[in-house]
Amino acid sequence: MAGEQPTLGFIGLGTMGEPMCRNLAAKSKARVVCYDVRSEPMERLKDEGIEPAESIAQVANVADIIFLSLPGGDQLAEVAGEDGLLKHVRAGQTVVDHTTAPVALARELNEKFADISADFLDAPVARTRLAAIDGTLAIMVGGEEDAFQRIEPFLDCMGTNVTYCGASGNGQTTKLLNNMVLIQTVVAMADALAIGRRAGLDGDQLFKVMSDGSADSFALRHHGMLSMVTGEFPEHMFSTVYALKDLTYALELAREYRVEANQAKQAERLLRRAIDDGLGEAYFPVVYEIIEDRGE
């Protein structure tokens, strides 16, 4: 990137945040300061020239643009709220939130940062941890368009499909609806796999044939063929708990706009049952086991 570089901050170095921060630093060539409540990811990134900070306040004091990648809305409200970044951010700074969080919270934070002449953009990400590592995420952005144009080159360091979705909250709305459809698709595939296997079909062959037809999808080729068929539902991926969180946020939107979303409600019920069965930390396609074991 040409020209004088701003200093970048990155808060939240979890499953997605750590590789995103790594790509941001490597590709932008900017100074990056990072913070997480855990020291381990900061130590790993320090070895690659990314500076660890001692607090959220320290990141806010040195960074011109601050990126966030947090587990959910509760953490976002704490980190970005009145006792967090809002207390430390100054006029002219920009906060870019990659957390998947409630739309109402994104809009509220946008207004509060605007009151202190700072920009806040909701920019949740889609695709897998591997995409975060490879820098091939899809990023959906809501907020002021001029602010988006300023930060777009940095988003390009982390994703290959960066889309401006319009006003504040639109990035979150787009992401939540994306995940709602994904989760419903995974439940439909779980039904198909359970029926197919009970009817005597080979699950791997079933999904391969489906991938050559009109049922093909990213979900089929990844969540279905690489996880459901093999019975591999590792932790430290997009867990059942996180899937339920995102679906709950989507259903909040459905209620706000008076849409029944009956299929999403059925998916929510299955996710809750998987959590009740101790599968909350497993990769969320594990809902297949609930359907198969209980004949749901």
Say how far apart CA 22 and CA 14 lie, in whole Å: 12
Catalytic positions: 175
Work out the angle at residue 271's Cα, subtended by the Cα atoms of residues 269 and 276, and round it to the nearest 5 degrees.
95
Q: What is the 3-state secondary structure (H, E, C) of 162-194?
A: EEEEECCCHHHHHHHHHHHHHHHHHHHHHHHHH
Closest CA to 274 of 296, 289, 295, 292: 289
Alpha-helical regions (H) of the chain: 17-28, 39-46, 56-62, 73-80, 85-88, 103-115, 129-134, 145-155, 170-198, 203-211, 218-219, 240-256, 262-276, 287-294
Say how far apart CA 78 and CA 87 lie, in whole Å: 11
